[in-house]
Amino acid sequence: MDLNELRLKNPDLPLYSVTDSAFAPYGRVLSCADTEDLSAALNDTPIPAEGNCYVASDPALEGLPVMDTLRRLVYGETELQAGYCNGNGFTLNAEEYHKCSEVNYTTTGLVLLLALPEDLRENTLHSKSVKGFYLPSNTLVEIYPRVLHFAPCRVIEVGFRCLVVLQRGTNEPLEGGVNTAAAGEEKLLWMKNKWLVCHPDSPQAAKGAYIGITGENLTLKT
């Protein structure tokens, strides 16, 4: 499904392409490497029959030549991890941010639901602040640090495949545990280098994550 069709089916959700100027505060399109091998490797990763799956570190992806380029140009030669988030999701549910960039790439097309750091006020985000950005297949993007995002939304029936590159150690369990009663930003700290707010109707809320999204729990219609 292309962007025009998605806009027709989702008139109340602002939808843009990552190639539009509206994407500039959130991230940038990368054209730094040949992605043929990346497409082949990502297509070998499974899409679950239901829900989403996340693998933080996949040796087949991390061994690709493109990772050397990303490690230098995006992460300044700090250590990275490359994995994937694949699935069938189409609901907002939560938003997270990291204090490093995240690189995404897809072979299926997908929509990223994003919000800016300034949209999060006193640890609360209204879902009206969230915008959708269509990521076409075979497009490599950098999502800037602190930009709020979460699992992609599918745009085709078979689901989505999404590369996820982050600094090494991101999304590992916290050594000090989760403390949603803490003061300030600490209450959002859900995993290493991962700050999370969720909608009260989300699976993340049922797991004890900090409830900080108000308004409608957005869904992408396809």
pTM: 0.97
| Residue 32 predicted with pLDDT over 80 | no
Whether residue 222 lies inside any domain: the answer is no
According to the model, what pLDDT value does residue 34 have?
Answer: 80
Whether residue 145 lies inside any domain: the answer is yes
Whether residue 220 lies inside any domain: the answer is no
Per the structure, how many domains does the chain have?
1
pLDDT tens column, 140-184: 999 999 999 999 999 999 999 999 999 999 999 999 999 999 999
Whether residue 191 lies inside any domain: the answer is yes
Under the banding of pLDDT at 50, 70 and 90, the label for residue 1 is confident
Rg (CA), the chain: 16
Average pLDDT over all residues of the chain: 97
Whether residue 221 lies inside any domain: the answer is no
pLDDT tens column, 19-28: 999 999 999 9
- Residue 10: how many other CB atoms lie within 10 Å: 18
Q: For the domain that residue 129 is a member of, what is the CATH number?
A: 2.60.120.10
Residue 194: domain span: 3-214
Whether residue 7 lies inside any domain: the answer is yes
Count H helices, E strands: the chain?
5, 14
According to the model, what pLDDT value does residue 97 have?
Answer: 98
CA distance 154 to 220: 8
